[in-house]
Amino acid sequence: MINLIKSEVLKVRSTQVWMWMILPAVALTGLATAGTVYGSITDNEQIGVPIRYYDIFTQSGGAAVALLVIGILGLTTEFRHKTITPTLLATPSRTRVVIGKALSYSLFAVFYALVCGVVNFAIAIIWLNAKNVPLDFGHGVVMGVVKALLALVLTALFGLGLGAMVRNQAAAMVIGILYFAIISNLLGIIPWVRKAYPYTPGGAIRAFTSNGSTRDTASDVHMLVPVVGGLVFLAWAVLLLVSGGYLSLKRDIS
């Protein structure tokens, strides 16, 4: 398995995609952090709302789209460029291939998450200090930071599973981005389906990264507690990986 992971890491490093994708990840994190800091300070100055430290220091999740795309590329690139055949010739066990990719992309996701976390903290701390706003890492902020970073890793695994299920690179990206950008939000407000929203991937990851607040949800929607939300999202990622890996790799590859 170690050699398989090394091989998968080498595959990713042999292209420039992983380097270029970190740019939008950092940019989205920076924009999300700047917007949250500005909004929080403005609300504090104008209407006396306490500084939202939890929201400010958990904005590394803004890079989720980039991690989703990276995960999707994990298997769809192999199918698109027909490199899946030599991959399976080198490692005949298709289950091991999926596990190896999941572990490999988790490592890259951890790297991305740490970089985005540093960007988030750097912008937030510099801005807060410039406004003479004291730093406060209490009230669950530290755990929120950890959850925000873990959410990026889980998102990469979800993308990998989605890519395994769909196989077509363009279709997988459209489905993934469209779901998290639009469809997930719609599921949270449509009357006859919103009660199921907490158990969807979007609702589960939202609950996981939250501080338990439900201020942006309908009164009849009961969000999951953060730990359960994380487990539900992990279950979705594993389900996609297992079913997608089985359906895609079980079929004739060449």
How many domains does one find in the chain? 1
Report pLDDT for 51.
92
pLDDT given at position 189: 83
Tens-digit pLDDT string for the chain (254 aa)? 677 667 667 676 677 777 788 888 899 999 999 999 999 999 998 998 999 999 999 998 778 888 898 888 887 887 777 777 677 667 666 777 788 888 888 888 888 889 999 999 999 999 999 999 999 898 889 999 999 999 999 999 999 989 888 888 889 999 999 999 899 888 888 878 888 889 999 999 999 998 865 555 555 677 889 999 999 999 999 999 888 777 766 665 55
Contacts of residue 192, defined as CB under 8 A and 6 or more positions apart, other chains included, come to none
Does residue 152 contact residue 61 with C-beta atoms inside 8 Å?
yes
Q: 43 lies in which domain range?
A: 2-250
pLDDT of residue 166: 86
DSSP string spanning 132-166?
Answer: TPPP--TTTHHHHHHHHHHHHHHHHHHHHHHHHHH
pTM of the model: 0.87
Instruction: Look at residue 233 in the predicted model and tell me its pLDDT.
Output: 95
Residue 10 in tokens: 């080498």
List the structure tokens of 109: 């996701």
